[in-house]
Amino acid sequence: MILVTGGAGYIGSHTCVELLNAGFDVTVFDNFCNSSPEALIRVEQITRKKLTLITGDCRDRGAMIKALKESQASAVIHFAGLKAVGESVENPTIYYDNNVVGTLRLIEAMQECQLKTLVFSSSATVYGDPVKLPLTEDHPLAPTNPYGRSKKMIEEMLCDLYQSDHSFKIAILRYFNPVGAHDSGLIGEDPRGIPNNLMPFVAQVAVGRQESLSVWGSDYPTPDGTGVRDYIHVVDLALGHLKALEALKIASEKRNSCLTINLGTGQGYSVLDVVRAYEKASKKNIPYRIAPRRPGDIASCYADPKRAHDVLGWQAKLGLDEMCANSWHWQSNNPTGYQQN
């Protein structure tokens, strides 16, 4: 049994599908602060399997202990957390509370229950403005906002925990830019309000919910002047978690079993590359205008995915065309996300 915190969220729900398909039992622990129970119904529909749901908040240590005991989980995948950069600048305390305190309570509960296998959702945002590309895991960490700093603090907390007790097995996964959707078109990204991130915004332009895309800056030192990112298909990303669980299962106390691993493709695409690929996938015109740079944005960011390959035997398989096609399938079938209008 795997306990998945934040399992109803975008990456969490896709990971639940892959876990169930691989034969794992799954208990989702979620407070639905930024997700919908409908996502879990769809997960069951896709897999034709049942999962167990516990509605709760990671900051509630008692609820966490109860969930670990009831589920009899052998490992935790911890997705629950807040993730909007702008919101974290305006309201940092909720980020430290949800993300850092939430994880602290979770690991206290795990200690209490003698449960010691954890896969944690981190982000490439911990690197900040890259000094050197591609980004390897030993690149210096210099996050530029409270969201990124909350992820870095959690990483440090987990490494300290491992140093104090080598029977913990921990995988810290640094995601690049997750996009796309399950190819059933039943689950996908469903941001509340106006999307901050590129692909969900483009998807809403294609479906007619937004008029036009603002391209934040065309004067970056990149091939076409627009920002370059390492977009990774959410299903590839989900499979990375299964590989991490496998790697932790065989990790022994002799080997380092606190792993920090990039999950990216190693390939960068510009904003305009994404727009063109989305136009092709959706057969829609995506109107855009060039706008000033978004404060805090960087020119380019892409992974060195070698460690994931060497240590996990994982590598991304799906390309930009599949990311856009699957995103469009989800968006066109569910123009208003999980909430039916």
Which residues sit at the interface with ligand UD1, rule CB under 6 A? 85, 123, 125, 147-148, 177-178, 196-198, 201, 213-216, 227, 229, 271, 294, 296-297
Rounded least distance, CB 125 to ligand UD1, Å: 3
Token output for 154 = 């959690």
Rounded least distance, CB 110 to ligand UD1, Å: 25
Q: Is 269 a residue of the active site? A: no
- HSE, side-chain direction, 13 A CA sphere, residue 153: 16
- State the Cα–Cα distance between residues 303 and 176, nearest whole angstrom: 7
Return all residues near 214 (Cβ < 8 A) that are at least 6 apart: 288, 289, 291
Burial 147-170 (b: 16+ CB within 10 A, else e): bbbbbbbbbeebeebbeeeeebbb
Q: Which is nearer to ligand UD1, 35 or 257 (CB)?
A: 35
**Following CA atoms 223, 227, 232, 234 in sequence, which dihedral angle do they give, to the nearest 10 degrees?**
-150
Instruction: Indicate the SS3 state at residue 236.
Output: helix
Q: Which is nearer to ligand UD1, 36 or 270 (CB)?
A: 270
Rounded least distance, CB 41 to ligand UD1, Å: 25
Q: Which is nearer to ligand UD1, 148 or 266 (CB)?
A: 148
Pairing verdict, β 52-55 and 169-175: unpaired
| Catalytic site residue from 10, 147, 278, 302 | 147
Q: Is the peptide bond before 287 cis (omega within 30 degrees of 0)?
A: no
Rounded least distance, CB 176 to ligand UD1, Å: 8
Q: Which is nearer to ligand UD1, 102 or 178 (CB)?
A: 178
Rounded least distance, CB 22 to ligand UD1, Å: 25
Q: Which is nearer to ligand UD1, 67 or 215 (CB)?
A: 215
Q: By C-alpha distance, which of 132, 189, 122, 195 is closest to 157?
A: 122
- The residue at minimum Cβ distance from ligand UD1 is 227
Q: By C-alpha distance, which of 185, 150, 186, 148 is closest to 329?
A: 185
Residues belonging to the active site: 147
